[in-house]
Amino acid sequence: MEISSGRILNDHSAHPAQMKQNIIKSFIKRNLKLTDDKYEKEISLKIKRILIENNYPVKQIEKLIKDVLFQKHSNIIHNNNVQQNQDPKFVSLPYVKGLTEKIQYDMRNLENNIKFGNQPLKKLNTIFTNTKTKMRVPKYGACYLIPCKGNNGVQCSCCYIGETKRDPILDRLPEHVRKHKKISNGISNPTTDACLNHAIIKKHNFDFENFKVLDYVGNHFIRKDMESLYIHKYGKSAVNFKVDTQNLGESVKGVVQIFNKYS
Ligand SMILES: [Zn+2]
């Protein structure tokens, strides 16, 4: 068992006696305090040999080794009186049965003025994370799409394209849902609302769960143009009235047709 390179400040060196005493004292402590009891004798002999080779008196070495071992086994390791009067240091350690006790024992050997607080490895807040749904930050102005899901096993590939200056999910979607609920309550006259109109005439249901925001656009004019472009892009699938694309220039429609052809 290797404990040191064997190089330590020689007792014949021109250093203060107290300094050399402290050096060999900490050398002995360092090597003995964390040593398992069954290796103490072996390590003590090695310490003794190294210190003798560095010209320290045998009696001094033996006394220091004896003192350190006494302190270690009585678990009263006070470096000096000042340290005894210091406030205890508090250390928080996670508790793992069998391991934490050993770590605490070893740490007390190095630092007597220490108190431990144990905490379970898993705290409740690591198991139950914040389950609150995060509040959506409103985002104003968007074009959106609501797919139709047909009815009674009849599939429908239509969709409604809309735009709003408000938040599409927080404000506009609930409005659509409320309007469509009225259909089941007996209100079935055709309206100017293209989405509602399709639902009433075809007796179809819109798939509000798959409500999709196509683009967030704050500017009113750009948003209107974009809505028209989307309606044009979806062509016959869009249940919107033709008037919704009236403000779209013919050249733009041509561009969209080319885009649709090659995309
Ligand atoms: Zn439909």
* Residue range 128-161, pLDDT digits in tens: 666 666 777 889 999 999 999 999 889 999 999 9
Backbone φ and ψ for 192, nearest 5 degrees, come out as -85, -5
Which has the minimum average pLDDT: 47-61, 85-99, 210-224? 85-99
Whole-number Å distance, alpha carbon 67 to ligand 1 midpoint, is: 93
Cα distance from N-terminal residue to C-terminal residue, the chain: 75
Whole-number Å distance, alpha carbon 197 to ligand 1 midpoint, is: 10
Whole-number Å distance, alpha carbon 135 to ligand 1 midpoint, is: 32
**Residue 179, exposed/middle/buried by CB under 10 A (0-12, 13-18, 19+)?**
middle
Name the token pair of 237: 């699938």
- CA 90, CA 108: separation in Å to the nearest integer? 12
Whole-number Å distance, alpha carbon 114 to ligand 1 midpoint, is: 74
- Helix residue ranges per DSSP H, 185-248: 194-202, 220-234
Q: Say whether pLDDT at 82 is over 70.
A: no
Whole-number Å distance, alpha carbon 179 to ligand 1 midpoint, is: 16
- Model confidence, pTM: 0.48
Mean pLDDT, residues 159-182 taken together: 94
Whole-number Å distance, alpha carbon 205 to ligand 1 midpoint, is: 7
Q: Say whether pLDDT at 251 is over 70.
A: no
Q: Say whether pLDDT at 87 is over 80.
A: no
Whole-number Å distance, alpha carbon 199 to ligand 1 midpoint, is: 7
Helices (H) and strands (E) in the chain, counts: 10, 5
3-state secondary structure of 221: helix
Whole-number Å distance, alpha carbon 190 to ligand 1 midpoint, is: 15
Whole-number Å distance, alpha carbon 150 to ligand 1 midpoint, is: 5
3-state secondary structure of 34: coil
CA-nearest of 4, 10, 40 to 23 is 10
